[in-house]
Structure 1
Amino acid sequence: MPSQTPSSAVSADGQDRRKFTSGKVVGLSGELDPTDDDLGVWVERYLDLAVRGVRSAEVTAKISRHLQRLRAWIGSGLGHERVSAITARELAAWRDHLAAAGWQRKDGSAAAMAPATVNNHLAHASALFSWISAHAPAALLPGGDPSKRVEPLRLPAPEVRALNAAQVRTVKNVLDRLESFHQLNGRRHRGGASRGAAAATHRHARPLRDRAIVHTMLGTGLRRAEIAGLDLTQLQPREPEQLRRAKKAKLTGVRGKGRTTRSVFLGRDARTALADYLQHERGGDLAPDSTALFLAASSIAARQPDGRLSPRSINTIVGEIGAIHDLQVVGGDRQLGVLRPHDLRHTFAYLLSQASGHNRAELERRLGHANERYLKLYTNPPEEIAASYVEDL
């Protein structure tokens, strides 16, 4: 599909209009041209002028992916991509399609999308049509913005995922011994360890980094993208010995959702784990332009040039620690199943709520979330605690 040329993103005074989502499209004719009535053209204009360079690379890729799914749905269903033919009925049908079979498994079969994911697609479509309404010739959308008349799906009741006290204890026990689970076990390596040398680990393994990540998430409630986005300069203090001695350390300017920023304090476990990582591991993975606090192993060929971890890699790290945990512990009340980064966030929120006397202002400040629905979710107790409330009633 044709797209707006890069020069259209520059105004007469030299300003880059991609930084201004409300800027008018430069050079559009007042009359409807056949090329104007094309969804692919408008998607590219929107991405070029309102998304790329404004949103993060990860969010830009997601918005583009969602809008391409919309294009595929319209094109396959109508046999064309004319914007003027897109109605609320078409968008509602797309919503229902995503909810029923919008996801493709690895084997190629269709699967339902989660309601929240469907609503995220609708939100990106709504932003696109709002932008088109503001910049397009009047004849392009004679009935107005079609997305305004499409209701999002009802979300199911959120699931509480906070760890109970027994699980927190055994997770921390596994973190204390994490290096031992990455040691090489061949005869040659066992012999070196018996002579007093440090036990060899897999060349991609970074147990001190992984321990620091989990302790930081468990002690601050940071989201996985917030962890991946941290720079070393945000850590105060950042010298290992100062971190170990400090009574108060924090991460400043944490970038959250909605372009918000906040500071979070670090507890003893997080301070100690970060000091160990900075002193013994991080230096070996530095690249010339590395600024990230947590770096991928330099031995991984596919890592980013600056070494920064991706949010998806945080999922992998946390999930692997959860799997190690469940192999190590006995008892159904301690088994985690699948450990997710948000489980650590839920746990922190519940513990912070208890420690602060359910102080809403403190919860909003440290969690970076003011939504009542999610504050209630994050501060709900684990099931065994909730069950104990009615045990003797």
Structure 2
Amino acid sequence: MRGVRSAEVEAKITRHLQRFADWLADGLGHDRLSAVTPREVAAWRDHLSDHGNTRHTASAGPMAPATVNNHLAHLSALFSWIIVHAPAALLRNGDPTKKVDLLRLPAPQVRALAAAQVRTVKNVLDRIEDFHQLTGRRHGGTTGKPTLHRHARPLRDRAIVHLILSTGLRRAELVGLDLAQLDPCDPAELRRVKKAALTGVRGKGRTVRTVFVGRDARHALADYLDQERPGDADPVSDALFLASSSIAARRPGGRLSPRSVNTIVDQVGRLHDAQTSDRERHLGALRPHDLRHTFGYRLSEASGHNRAELERRLGHANDRYLRLYTNPPDDIAAGYVEDL
């Protein structure tokens, strides 16, 4: 995998395989490959399912079935490689992962935001700078711009949320974007044109696609590029979205991490719920994939459930997930049967 997969994927595969090695050594007292049997692989699968997730409190909890299956896929790939390259006597009974079934995945859940929720989220985004202002007498005054927290980048956060809502980008795709992929990338042009695009977006399975950027996202990006990004950029800052330059531990070039996108989206969700008295509109924990699902559902409606368009814009070819984007949020589904 080294030199073939990205550094992030390489690290994940290494981590998964090390978990199996540690679990095997802990249970058998050694980690010899010849001792790995289908029984051991199945027991590891069940262990991950019941106790594989370490919580913040250091206690063990269940691991999601999809994550368990991801661990098994990486272990299977390792043994497939061993079968080809190792002496035949090493694994006398063949690949021990072949006879171990994957966990059944639950039906995908619809996580799209309803139209009323999208409206209130956008209203919060319009006012997001207000929530980052420093309060108190020393930060007051009647002239000049309000003082913001030194790490705060409200225009960047607004642009990120609008961009996911407008394009359905995944976290990794979003943080992997370079400024050069935005066409046009000039703020004045972004405000003027009626069509902008992100080219060469790299998704899962080595797919590459072009996504179009909606009006709200174009204007939010223009504000960010005009007012915030220049202050955080350095000579090696190719990324579209940059971490605050005041953060000492930021990545080289300032590129955001996928986890940072989680934090930004979650914070917007918390602000939304704090500003919304209508409990029916509350979002709870808002995640980037909720915004992606919202885009997918709205694109499905706008395109007449055009499968080819969904594949092209979402970078997904799996029927199981494409069907998910045609399912309406609960309040819309409830409305279908209200008067029947």
TM range (shorter): over 0.9
- Structure 2 residue 205 is matched with structure 1 residue 258: yes
Match of 2:151? 204
The Cα of 1:339 is off from its aligned counterpart by 0.4
Q: Percent identity?
A: 72
Structure 1 residue 52, shift from structure 2 partner: 2.1
- Does residue 244 of the first structure (1) align with residue 194 of the second (2)? no
Residue in structure 1 matching 2:138, options 188, 197, 204: 188
TM-superposition CA deviations, 1:87-126 (whole Å, max 9, x none): 1111000000000111222222211101111011001101
- Measure, in 2, the Cα distance between the counterparts of 1:171 and 1:230: 24
Number of equivalent positions? 340
Q: Does 1:219 align with 2:166?
A: yes
Which of 239, 253, 271 pairs up with 1:292? 239
**Amino acid in the other structure paired with 2:46:** D
The residue correspondences of 1:92-131 to structure 2 (distance < 5 A) are 92-131=42-81
Equivalent residue for 2:215? 268
In structure 2, the residue matched to 1:326 is 273
Does structure 1 residue 371 correspond to structure 2 residue 318?
yes
Partner of 2:105: 155
Within the candidate set 362, 368, 373, 2:309 is matched to 362
Structure 1 residue 323: Cα displacement: 0.4
RMSD across aligned positions (CA) = 0.8
Q: Which residue of 2 aligns with 1:76?
A: 26
- TM-superposed deviation, 1:313: 0.5
Aligned equivalents of 1:328, 1:378: Cα separation in 2: 28
Are the equivalent residues in 2 in contact too, given 1:346–1:379 (CA < 8 A)?
no
- Which stretches of structure 1, 4 residues or longer, exceed 6 Å deviation after superposition? none
- When Rg is computed on C-alpha atoms for both structures, the one with the higher figure is 1
Kindly provide the amino acid, as one letter, of the partner of residue 149 in structure 1: K
| Whole-angstrom distance in 1 between the partners of 2:234 and 2:98 | 48
Question: Structure 1: how far apart are the matches of 2:57 and 2:196?
Answer: 48
Deviation track 1:294-329 (CA, whole Å, cap 9, x = no partner) reads 000000111102100000100000000100010001
Residue 306 (structure 1) aligns with: 253
Unpaired stretches in structure 2, ≥5 consecutive residues: none
SS in 2 for 1:370: coil
Whole-Å separation in 1 of the counterparts to 2:288 and 2:203: 15
| SS of the residue 1:140 aligns to | coil
- In the alignment, does 2:60 pair up with 1:60? no
Output the amino acid matched with 2:63: M
Stretch deviating more after TM superposition (135-144 or 169-178): 135-144
Q: Aligned partners of 2:57, 2:25: CA distance in 1, in Å?
A: 24
Code of the residue aligned with 2:130 in structure 1: it is S
Match of 1:17 in 2: none
SS in 1 for 2:218: helix
